[in-house]
Amino acid sequence: MTTRMEKRFALCKAEGRAALVTFLMAGDPDPKTSLDLIKALPQAGADVIEIGMPFTDPMADGPSIQAAGLRALAAGMSLTKTLDLVRAFRKADTDTPIVLMGYFNPIYVRGVEKFLGEAKEAGVDGLIVVDLPPEEDDELCLPALAAGLHFIRLATPTTDDKRLPTVLTNTSGFLYYVSITGITGAATPDYSKVAQAVHRIKAQTQLPVAVGFGVKNAQTAASLAAHADGVVVGSALIDALKNSLDAQNRATGTTLTAVTSLVSDIAHGVRSARKAAAE
């Protein structure tokens, strides 16, 4: 059976381009605006949507995503409401894959089986849980795969050839290559090194490889899209969102377009780095 995720990456590959994967935090800056934003993403050029599950202690995230999570929590966001957000999105869009991304504690506290059942029912396609390395696969990865959800793993510059097979085992949907050692929204990666890393990973897996961390604009996205099957952008979108808010962190008339216009720009960048379809 081909999943929504597999279809989408196959479609992008057939078009000879990388997929654009966008990240926004659920409930940022408030639940309603957040739903409007996420609904608008596919039209703006997003191929895959990652939705952050807010958490008080995001230990791998930089200031932008930390602040986004706190704004969402302050606006009353919760894991229950994040699942509601996915359900609401799915009413109008049954094609765009959705990945929930975050930290394990809210899922663990909710109950793994309960969460997986709800996520599948809501229309979630995959999970990225930052603080669950392969060593903890029993916790969520294996149950998620059994429930028919992709479990997308991160590989990093510290994932050497010896460790890579461990990371690839039980990874599904796509592999997320973190282009730098560091937190989200930090330094710009060294593109030649990223290209090497992507080739090294692709030699060991059939899975699409998406690259993220440090994608700021159309140009950086294009540089990565030339080498990878997908480009992930998060902090830059959240910065654009943040800059559109008023002094009390409330959405304004420009919030929606601030995000969608940047997504469109980056989508053009990704599409400009057209690759040979037969690669």
Partner 1 sequence: MNNISPNSFRTGPDERGHFGLFGGRFVAETLMPLILDLEKAYEVAKADPAFHDELAHLAKHYVGRPSPLYFAERMTEELGGAKIYFKRDELNHTGAHKINNVLGQILLARRMGKKRIIAETGAGQHGVATATACAKYGLECIVYMGAVDVERQKPNVFRMKMLGAKIVPVQSGARTLKDAMNEALRDWVTNVADTFYCIGTAAGPHPYPAMVRDFQSIIGKETRWQMEELEGRLPDSLVACIGGGSNAIGLFHPFLDDKSVEIYGVEAAGHGLALPEGHAASLAGGKPGVLHGNRTYLLMNDDGQIIEGHSISAGLDYPGIGPEHAWLRDIGRVTYVSATDKEALEGLQLCCRTEGIIPALEPSHALAYVTKLAPTKPKDHLMVVNICGRGDKDIFTVAEHLGGM
Residues that bind partner 1 (CB under 8 A): 54-63, 66, 70, 73, 78-80, 103-110, 130-136, 153-160, 163, 167, 178, 181-183, 186
64 versus 96: smaller Cβ distance to partner 1: 64
For residue 181, report the phi and psi dihedrals to the nearest 5 degrees. -85, 120
The residues near 86 (Cβ < 8 Å, ≥ 6 apart) are 51, 98, 100, 119, 122, 123, 124
The string of DSSP codes covering 130-190 is TT--GGGTTTTHHHHHHTT-EEPPEE-TT--TTTHHHHHTT--S-EEEE-SSS-TT-PPP-
Q: In the bound complex, what is the minimum distance in angstroms from residue 263's beta carbon to partner 1?
A: 26
* Smallest separation, CB 27 to partner 1 (Å): 11
Give the shortest CB-72-to-partner 1 separation in angstroms: 11
Residue 176's beta-bridge partner residues?
154, 210
- From the list 30, 47, 61, 137, the catalytic residue is 61
Q: Is 120 exposed, middle or buried (CB count within 10 Å of its CB: 0-12, 13-18, 19+)? A: middle
Shortest reach from residue 84's CB to partner 1, in Å? 13
Of residues 44, 13, 9, the one with CA closest to residue 233: 44
Q: Which is nearer to partner 1, 146 or 187 (CB)?
A: 187
Work out how close the CB of 177 gets to partner 1 at its nearest, in angstroms, rounded to a whole number: 10
What SS3 class is residue 205? coil
Q: Is 279 a catalytic residue?
A: no
The tally of CA atoms less than 13 A away on the side-chain side of residue 234 is 31
Q: Annotated catalytic, 139?
A: no
Q: Which is nearer to partner 1, 159 or 220 (CB)?
A: 159
Which is closer to partner 1, CB of 51 or CB of 267? 51
Q: Please, which residue, 96 or 171, has the CB nearer to partner 1?
A: 171
Determine the Cα–Cα distance for residues 168 and 149; give it in Å rounded to an integer.
16
By annotation, the residues acting in catalysis are 50, 61
